[in-house]
Structure formats: structure tokens, C-alpha cells
Chains A and B, each alone.
Chain A
């Protein structure tokens, strides 16, 4: 990611608005998306050399429109009607107002684009890639490097996603009122996926992926700004901020994972914690409760404890009980068991964990073994803990997790072995 930071921000913020303006005018989401991407690339070359134009967005719309018209013209197979209409309309009439003037369509465009990119007809990987390019304004090369796949592969994924959007014939407008809650949930899920892709990155080549967490927060902030009344949009932003706040403490310089209880809390980003706590505090009392808000509330309780031993576990346990009612699932039960163990002792936690043994989604999952190991260690069963840590280490497909779990197992190995 090599562009100048300020120009990069400007380009990325403009991307959905420029694309929205083009699609509303010309249709052809796929061709418009390519044209905007070309305009963004042109700007990345020209602006550092010639200076940023007075109206960056107008510049982008003009350049993207020209590219689009050239393309539509050269493609005789396309409907001539639209080509003619596009050619007659000078790009100047599309110019967005200058900075400071809020274009009324911008709000809808960003949201409409998000809904389109996270359309349920697309696979999760396609939703993620298309969102990052069409709404996030990232280049294919940037997305490819973040996901550690060749650029050609990512290009193909994006192109297929656009073909799919085209073939489903989804119009470029907000989904109907009655399907909007489901569609918004899909959008939030895609953003959380992008966030986790970046948040879990530790070291080495994965470090670039940190940008993904930043991008997910930027987009979540945008949705929260556009839909301030939506509790789950607020909850997701708070959850991301409160989780991301711990990033610097989460790994040692050599890439080793540091568990929450052992993190140096002085390294936490206090500003992000405060912002996350403020958002969740004002959202919880007035919005319909949902899983992102509850997870954010749990993260807030963790982040507000000055030391690990100050953590308000009864509060966290109450929140997990609520979460288990609102959004039950094996991962929730898993974390619930940890909270229960902290309040009622490891035996209670282990009993709850045992209910997951028959769950086919979890039975061979390393997280179940890892939590069991932790609770057995708490209970003083060193042998059982060591064996469960080793099982977890074998089952995980994450290098830093394996290293961490092997380390825990080794700590429990008697010296004479």
C-alpha cells in the first residue's frame, strides 16, 4: 500500500460516491466499477505529480465517465441507446458539489453499494473482495496481497462477483424496507469478516493484513454515521474499536500470541477504548439488543479492568447468558464456559464445555480443546491440561496459535521428562 496517506484517504473516501454517481447515471455496475478503478489509478499517478485538483471528486467522476464512455463506445455489442445517452450528456453535468457541500445522494450511494456488494447471491469471499474494491477503493493488487493470493486470482474473483451481480439483475437502489434488516445484517457480517481477517494477523507477511482491520473500522464508522439509530451497526463499530484497541498488546515483537490475562494493558489504545465504551454505553439503553452490542459490551468490561484480576466476571457471565439467548451457538457456549469458570470455578465451566462434545461443529475444533485445557489447568489437573493443549496444538491451522498452545503444554511438562 504505497500511496501517500492523505491522497489515499481522499481517493478511498471518494470511491463509493464516484461509483454511485456513475451507476445511477449510466447503469452497468460492472463497467462503471472498472472505470472508477481506472480513475483511481490515474489519480494515484497524476495527483502526486500535478497536485490534487480543486474538486477531487469532480475530477474522478469526469475521468471515470470518460473511461466508461470510451469503453461503451468501443463495445458495439452493447446497447447503443445507453451509449448515445451517455455521450450526449457532457460529464460536467455530473460534477458533484465541491468539498463541504453534502451531496444528498452520497449517503444512499455508499449504503446502496454496500448492499449490492454484500448481496446474498455472492459467496463470502466475493462479498469481501467486491466490498473492498467498490466501496473501499482498494486496488486489486492491495486486496490480493492482503489475502495472500496472486493478483490474477483476486482479479478473477472480483470479475466473477460482478458478473454474478449483473446476472442476478439486482437494481442499483436500496433494498425494500422489509428485506433491509436481513441485508444490513449481511453487510455487517462482511465488515466483521474483513476486520477479523486483519485483526488476527500477527507478523511477517501477514502484517499487511492489519490494513484490513483499519479499513473495516473505517467502513463500520461510515455505516454508523449513515444509520446512527441502528443498534447493531453501532455495536459492530464499538466491538471493532474495543477489540482493535488491544492489538499492540496481543502479540510479542517476535509474533508470539499473548493471552488477554497476560497482556500489558499499558499498551492498549486508550482512545479507542474510550470511543468504543462511549458508543456502546449510549447504544445499549435505547436500541433493540443484538449480538454485536452484547459482544461489544463484553469487550468493554474487559477493556475497563485496570488489571486482569479486576475483571468484572459476574458482569461478563450475565452478558454471555444474554448472548446465548439472543444468538446461541457453540462459540458463544465456549466463551460462556470460560466466564462461568471464572465466577463459579473450573468444574462448572468444564461441565458446560462437556455439552459441546456432541456438537459436530465443535467436537474436533481446536478452540474446544484449548478452552478445556485452560480450565483443566485452573482445576489443577496438569496432566489433563497438558494433553488437551497438545490436542489443540495439533488441531489448529494457525501457526501462532500452535506455537502458543505448544508453549502452554510445555510449561506443564514435569522437568524430569
Chain B
């Protein structure tokens, strides 16, 4: 089963970290990626730009319009994600706990919908 591990970021929390602590987070991500590659569970990952770079698009009556800023304004925002292929939900949560940001904010573990379905 594939899971999206969503890394939530809180800039207020992040700013309180020392440079050393921030560097430790980056290093821990490198380690985490290496471990996922090693275990054969990595599907993909990306870090996302700050929400100040975001634009939000809507189509109403066939007309598209774009505004600056995110769809939902919040203190926390999605800073990046890993997509993993884990054998159990427990394993997915175990991996999420290895993401360094889990120590400061939180990692959300969401199953990815499958294209397959059982006969009902």
C-alpha cells in the first residue's frame, strides 16, 4: 500500500531552532532518503517552496482566475512529502516517525487511493 507522508511546517517553530538544529534536520532527511532507497520502499519525494510563492486557481462559469497565496490560510503548511510503498500501516507510521520534522511539528500519514477495486 502506498502512503503519502506529509511534512507540516510551522515557521514560528522553525525559527526558534538553532542553525545546528536546522542542519541536523537536513542531514536527517538525507539519511531518511538513503534508508528508504535501501529498503526498497521509496516511491518519490519533494520539498515544496514557501507558500508565499503559491498561487491559487479557480474556474467559475468557465473562466479561470488566479490569486496569490494558498487555498487555506493557516499557521502550518505543507512543506514537503514522501511517497512510500509500505507493507503495513504500522510500517508507514514507523517510517513517518523517522522524518526529523516529526520532532518539531507533525507528519500526516495518508493512504494513497488505489486504482484497483474488488468485485462487490
CB pair B87 A123 closer than 8 Å: yes
CB pair B85 A402 closer than 8 Å: no
* A399-B44 CB under 8 A given contacts A125-B87, A156-B37: no
Q: Is A259 in the interface zone, CB < 8 Å from B?
A: yes
Q: Is B111 in the interface zone, CB < 8 Å from A?
A: yes
* A150-B117 CB under 8 A given contacts A156-B37, A397-B111: no
Q: How far is the CA of A295 from the CA of B116 in the complex (A)?
A: 21
Q: Is A83 in the interface zone, CB < 8 Å from B?
A: no
Within 8 A of B (CB), among A373-408: 374, 397-402, 404-405
What's the minimum C-beta distance from B39 to chain A, rounded to whole angstroms?
7
CB pair A156 B115 closer than 8 Å: no
Which of A153, A200, A203, A370 is close to B41, meaning CB atoms less than 8 Å apart? A153
Closest Cβ neighbor of A405 among chain B residues:
B120
Closest Cβ neighbor of B115 among chain A residues:
A206
Q: How far is the CA of A160 from the CA of B37 in the complex (A)?
A: 11
Closest Cβ neighbor of B36 among chain A residues:
A153
Q: How far is the CA of A109 from the CA of B2 in the complex (A)?
A: 34
Within 8 A of B (CB), among A156-200: 156-158, 160, 197, 200
Q: Is A124 in the interface zone, CB < 8 Å from B?
A: yes
Which of B39, B40, B43, B113 is close to A398, meaning CB atoms less than 8 Å apart? B113
CB pair B115 A399 closer than 8 Å: yes
Q: Is B1 in the interface zone, CB < 8 Å from A?
A: yes
Closest Cβ neighbor of B38 among chain A residues:
A156
Chain B residues in 8 Å Cβ range of A160 = 38-40
Within 8 A of A (CB), among B70-88: 85, 87
Which of A157, A205, A206, A398 is close to B118, meaning CB atoms less than 8 Å apart? A398
Q: Is B42 in the interface zone, CB < 8 Å from A?
A: yes
Chain B residues in 8 Å Cβ range of A246 = 119
Which of A126, A153, A400 is close to B115, meaning CB atoms less than 8 Å apart? A400
* A203-B119 CB under 8 A given contacts A150-B44, A153-B42: no
Q: Is B90 in the interface zone, CB < 8 Å from A?
A: no
Closest Cβ neighbor of B91 among chain A residues:
A123
CB pair A205 B115 closer than 8 Å: yes
What's the minimum C-beta distance from A162 to chain B, rounded to whole angstroms?
12
CB pair B120 A257 closer than 8 Å: yes
Other A-B contacts than A149-B85, A260-B119, 20 sampled, CB-CB below 8 A, are: A148-B2, A148-B43, A149-B43, A152-B37, A153-B40, A157-B40, A197-B116, A200-B118, A202-B116, A257-B117, A259-B120, A367-B118, A370-B120, A374-B120, A398-B113, A399-B114, A399-B115, A400-B116, A400-B117, A401-B120
Chain A residues within 8 Å of B, Cβ to Cβ: 123-126, 147-150, 152-154, 156-158, 160, 197, 200-206, 209, 246, 250, 257, 259-260, 367, 370, 374, 397-402, 404-405
Cross-chain pairs A/B with CB under 8 angstroms, 25 sampled: A124-B87, A125-B40, A150-B42, A150-B44, A152-B37, A153-B40, A153-B42, A156-B37, A156-B39, A157-B40, A209-B116, A250-B119, A257-B120, A259-B119, A370-B120, A397-B1, A397-B112, A397-B114, A398-B113, A398-B117, A398-B118, A399-B113, A400-B115, A400-B116, A404-B117
Top-3 shortest CB links A-B: A157-B40, A400-B117, A206-B115
Chain B residues within 8 Å of A, Cβ to Cβ: 1-2, 37-44, 85, 87, 111-120
